[in-house]
Amino acid sequence: MSTFLAETEAMIATWHGIAAPNDPARRFAAELADIIAAFEKLHGTLVFEDEPASFEAALQAAKETAA
């Protein structure tokens, strides 16, 4: 068992008072480490200004690209 999985199961037990119910639950918890790593790779690649900050800004951006 990886350290991440062991720590995740310990936190679940501490906060919720339950153990991982079955093998699929343990597998999904183990895959969480890969998901976190994927998000960490994206850290710093996007800034707030890269995405419209509001619905109105998104409409304006779509309007400008269509023109």
* Half-sphere exposure in the Cβ direction for 63 (13 Å, CA): 7
**Threshold 0.95, pTM exceeds:** no
Three-point CA angle 47, 52, 41, nearest 5°: 30
Q: What share of the chain is helix, strand, coil (3-state, %, to 5)?
A: 75, 0, 25
**For residue 67, pLDDT beyond 60:** no
Give the burial string for 8-28 (b: 16+ CB within 10 Å, else e): bbeeeeeeeeeebeeeeebee
Q: pLDDT tens-digit profile of 13-66?
A: 899 998 877 888 888 888 888 899 898 888 777 665 666 567 777 778 788 776
